[in-house]
């Protein structure tokens, strides 16, 4: 079976939904990265290229250690690539910091700040007036089900509520591109499902350009417009999958035969890669 190329896998409802062609909000070109020390070298990324179009929700799935988090560090300007470039809206921003909004696996809220003060931090750093920043934060918190917890401290909230606050903080950042690094991995299955539905609702309202790392095929299909399947290390793109299911997405989509078929096809690609490379998939 050959998986190279960018043609969409077909699944469900007759045809793929695609966004209007335009300049990418984020483009990664020919990314290469190797970590070296005196005794060894680990080749992490191998000529990896991908795009996120304006207003598109894109997920990356692949084996553990395939370089997904390393790629986020390079996109965020925290790490230099050995080769390759990062473009945003057509401008080369390789090595530049402060160009993305970032949400890590853990909420990483400041424990000495109230939930409201955590959420409004990006507006505060932009120099927005305190009154305007607080009004905006409270509006988003109300929509996120956090009304009444404005003056609470992070340690008093559940894991799901902390993740909502962390996402709102990223959402209030001025950057167009949001990078989400397995944002629900620390949550139990039920809370994770609730958070997926919540994120879908919020994203439908904002349509920010999103690049998300996940190990869950079902989650990627539920949330995304397109999915990149990564190889084992050194990470490169095996396939870009255009997700064909219309929005808004609903839970009953998970039992649709076409959804199940596409999930199975993606799983087969990943399992073939696992067998070929002898790699471990979470």
**Residue 1 sits in the same domain as residue 141:** no
Answer with the one of 157, 174, 191 that is the final residue of a domain. Answer: 174
Q: Judge contact between 209 and 54, C-beta under 8 A.
A: yes
**Residue 163 sits in the same domain as residue 245:** no
**Residue 84 sits in the same domain as residue 221:** yes
- Report residues of the chain scoring pLDDT below 70: 1-21, 276-282
**Residue 132 sits in the same domain as residue 204:** no
Q: Which pLDDT tens digit goes with each residue over 102-138?
A: 888 888 899 999 999 999 888 888 888 888 888 888 9
pLDDT of res. 196: 85
**Residue 20 sits in the same domain as residue 160:** no
**Residue 144 sits in the same domain as residue 188:** no
pLDDT of res. 277: 64
Token couple for 95: 């090595």
**Residue 162 sits in the same domain as residue 184:** no
Q: Are strands 83-88 and 177-181 parallel, antiparallel or unpaired?
A: unpaired
Instruction: Indicate which CATH number applies to the domain containing 281.
Output: 3.40.50.300
Q: Judge contact between 183 and 163, C-beta under 8 A.
A: yes
Find the farthest-apart pair of alpha carbons in the chain and give their distance in angstroms, rounded.
Answer: 58
**Residue 146 sits in the same domain as residue 229:** no
pLDDT of res. 85: 95
Burial of 38 from C-beta contacts in 10 A (0-12 / 13-18 / 19+): exposed
**Around Cβ 158, how many Cβ atoms within 10 Å?**
10
Question: Is the omega angle on the peptide bond into residue 137 within 30 degrees of 0, that is, cis?
Answer: no
Answer with the one of 134, 149, 174 that is the final residue of a domain. Answer: 174
pLDDT of res. 278: 60
**Residue 186 sits in the same domain as residue 79:** yes
Token couple for 247: 């929005």
pLDDT of res. 217: 92
CA angle 230, 219, 197 (to 5 degrees): 150
pLDDT of res. 174: 85
Answer with the one of 159, 174, 189 that is the final residue of a domain. Answer: 174
Which residues, 6+ apart, have CB-to-CB distance to 153 below 8 Å? Answer: 111, 112, 113, 114, 115
Q: Which pLDDT tens digit goes with each residue over 59-101?
A: 999 887 778 889 999 999 999 999 999 999 999 999 998 899 9
**Residue 124 sits in the same domain as residue 79:** no
**Residue 118 sits in the same domain as residue 247:** no
Residue 91 structural domain: 1-99+176-282
**Residue 278 sits in the same domain as residue 230:** yes
The number of distinct structural domains making up the chain is 2
């Amino acid at each position: 079976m050959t998986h190279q190329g960018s043609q969409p896998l077909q699944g469900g409802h007759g045809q793929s939904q695609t966004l209007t062609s335009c300049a990418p909000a984020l483009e990664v070109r020919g990314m290469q990265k190797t970590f070296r020390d005196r005794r060894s070298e680990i080749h992490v990324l191998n000529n990896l290229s991908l795009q996120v179009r304006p207003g598109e929700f894109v997920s990356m799935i692949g084996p553990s250690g395939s370089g997904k988090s390393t790629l986020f560090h390079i996109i965020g300007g925290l790490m230099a690539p050995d080769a390759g470039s990062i473009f945003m809206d057509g401008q080369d921003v390789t090595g530049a910091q402060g160009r993305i909004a970032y949400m890590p696996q853990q909420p990483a809220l400041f424990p000495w700040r109230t939930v409201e003060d955590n959420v409004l931090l990006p507006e505060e750093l932009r120099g927005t007036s305190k009154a305007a920043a607080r009004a905006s934060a409270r509006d988003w918190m109300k929509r996120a089900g956090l009304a009444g917890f404005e003056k609470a401290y992070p340690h008093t909230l559940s894991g799901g509520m902390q993740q909502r606050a962390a996402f709102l903080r990223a959402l209030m950042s001025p950057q167009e591109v949001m990078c989400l690094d397995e944002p629900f991995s620390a949550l139990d299955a039920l809370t994770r499902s609730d958070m997926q539905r919540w994120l879908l609702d919020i994203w439908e309202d904002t349509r920010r350009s999103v690049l998300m790392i996940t190990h869950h095929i079902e989650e990627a299909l539920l949330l995304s417009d397109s999915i990149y399947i990564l190889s084992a290390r050194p990470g490169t793109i095996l396939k870009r999958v255009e997700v064909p299911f219309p929005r808004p997405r609903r839970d009953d989509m998970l039992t649709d035969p076409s959804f199940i078929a596409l999930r199975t096809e993606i799983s087969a690609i990943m399992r073939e890669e696992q067998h070929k490379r002898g790699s471990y998939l979470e």
